[in-house]
Amino acid sequence: MNDVSSRSFEAAVPTGFIESLPRGSGIYVVGGALRDVLIGELSFRELDLLVTNVPLDSLVKLLRRFGKAEVVGRSFTVIKWTPRYSENSIDVAIPSRRDASIREESLPQISLEEDLARRDFTVNAMAFDLRSERLVDPFDALLDIDARILRAVGDDALLADPLRCLRGAYICAKCGLAVEPRTLDLIRSAAPKLQDIAPERISEEIKKTMLLPRPSTALRLWRDWGLLDYFVPELARCVGVSQEGGWHAYDVFEHLLHTVDAIPPRLELRLAALLHDVGKPARRSFIPERNRAIFYGHQNLGERLAKEILLRLHFSNEIAGRVARLVRFHMFSHAQTDKGVRRFVRRVGADLLDDLFALRYADIEAQGTDRDETADRQYQQRVKRILDERPPLSTRDLAVDGKDVMEILGLREGPRVGEALERLVEIVLDEPSKNTRDYLLKEIEDMREMILQKAAITKGENYRTQ
């Protein structure tokens, strides 16, 4: 365990800020940054400061002299402070009861020790005085750090905010801690209350967990602590779902965890890895004579489930949509012709290809069967070669546009214009050399008779229904 000093944090706090605080005030480093520095092997990315004996309004004004400060927070007040010339924000707070049922601003400010007593785990319930360089450790967190133990501050710590159950798994995974038995009992008792937590708060914990070096450590704790059923039951259903047949060494849940660890640490990739086989439990069929489990169509069901899960947890539409597309296409097969490759790219979307291949390689590694990925590597190079030729893949790539279609066919803007352009895309996908203005204008002319016939049929049908 490392010693701690003001030098550990001085680069993050603007010069002159501490000196500008009024007489009788205190300023302390609290939370994860202090915990991580004391554990020693970890550097901190986010800094939490606690300022005592300064009213909230006065503190905000003071912080704004040194940068941008915005008051946020649902369960207790936090000031997001971005010091001038810094890209990193600092969370600044005054001592709080951390109780969402109480309006903190209506209460007199409480003491530092009372604030620490309201925190979740002992390793987060310390404070380091930036002036005196004194460590305030009322709950023997240093002993727990030495013993690598996660211990709740009090018996009501987790019921007061059940989100702390997820945070405990994150801390254990990040810091190499093991939960002590009494705290585990408290976690399991509080777990059902996760259903009452605001989805966006849960999603923030998921995001942090997904970006750990090895998220699987925390994900197994979600399972072992009985948390999954209460915020993502679709993953709980993957536990113990066997995959006989020789392709997989693990059940579906363990395979998902291995895939998450194997993929690069980007949020969308990690979420896609976690959810890519979430449709398997409902699609499992077992063939006894072949001792094989099959999961036909799991990628299509998985696409829907992944999107539902992420939107339910208030991830953005963009993230949910992109992850769902990766889940849908992760079972792609190799096209045999260049024409087929172009259609594959159009179907998937060129913007998704690199992530899709990253998911494929992580999926292969996570099967645990030493499957050879050479064919996929070769296919990726083939796709890249064809993309380098810049073939037309969408209506934006055509040598003509909607105005040409409307002018030649006498159409107004509407779905028929789009249909005509899509027909042209189908032509140039097969033969990119036909993507010339002269050729496509002739093709539009040839559509005239078909358009007129369709219009006549529609008119006749409308007449018969009158």
Give 203-217 pLDDT, tens digit per residue.
999 999 999 999 999
Q: Dig out the tokens for 333 from the structure.
A: 């097969």
Question: DSSP letter at 235?
Answer: H
Which letter, b or e, does each residue of 185-215 get, where b requires 16 or more Cβ atoms within 10 Å of its Cβ?
A: ebbeebbebbeebeeebbbbbbebbbebeeb
Q: Is 59 exposed, middle or buried (0-12, 13-18, 19+ CB in 10 A)?
A: buried
The SS3 of residue 129 is strand
Q: Dig out the tokens for 315 from the structure.
A: 């991830």
Convert the pLDDT of each residue in 384-442 to its tens digit.
999 999 999 999 999 999 999 998 888 888 888 998 999 999 999 999 999 999 999 99
Structure pTM? 0.88
Q: How far apart are CA 404 and CA 324, in angstroms?
A: 35
Percent of the chain with pLDDT over 70: 92
Convert the pLDDT of each residue in 61-94 to its tens digit.
999 999 999 998 655 678 999 998 888 889 999 9
Q: How far apart are CA 250 and CA 240, in angstroms?
A: 9
Question: DSSP letter at 23?
Answer: T
CATH number of 232-391: 1.10.3210
Convert the pLDDT of each residue in 160-208 to its tens digit.
999 999 999 999 999 999 999 999 999 999 999 999 999 999 999 999 9
How confident is residue 331, by pLDDT bands cut at 50, 70 and 90?
A: very high
Mean pLDDT of the chain: 90
Non-local CB neighbours of 454 within 8 Å, separated by 6+ positions:
none
Domain range 1-147, CATH class: alpha beta
Query: Which of 71, 68, 72 lies closest to 83, judged by CA?
Result: 68
Give me the amino acid identity at 163.
L
Convert the pLDDT of each residue in 97-134 to its tens digit.
765 545 444 445 788 999 999 999 999 999 999 999 99
Unique residue bearing structure tokens 């490392």: 2
Do the two domains 156-228 and 232-391 of this chain adopt the same fold?
no
Q: Dig out the tokens for 349 from the structure.
A: 């979307």
The answer to whether 350 touches 393, Cβ cutoff 8 Å, is yes
Convert the pLDDT of each residue in 292-310 to its tens digit.
999 999 999 999 999 999 9
The answer to whether 451 touches 409, Cβ cutoff 8 Å, is yes
The answer to whether 42 touches 174, Cβ cutoff 8 Å, is yes
Domain borders along the chain are 1-147, 156-228, 232-391, 395-465
Position 41 scores a pLDDT of 61
Q: Write down the architecture of domain 156-228 according to CATH.
A: Orthogonal Bundle (1.10)
The answer to whether 269 touches 290, Cβ cutoff 8 Å, is no
The answer to whether 121 touches 151, Cβ cutoff 8 Å, is yes
Q: Is the pLDDT of residue 341 over 50?
A: yes
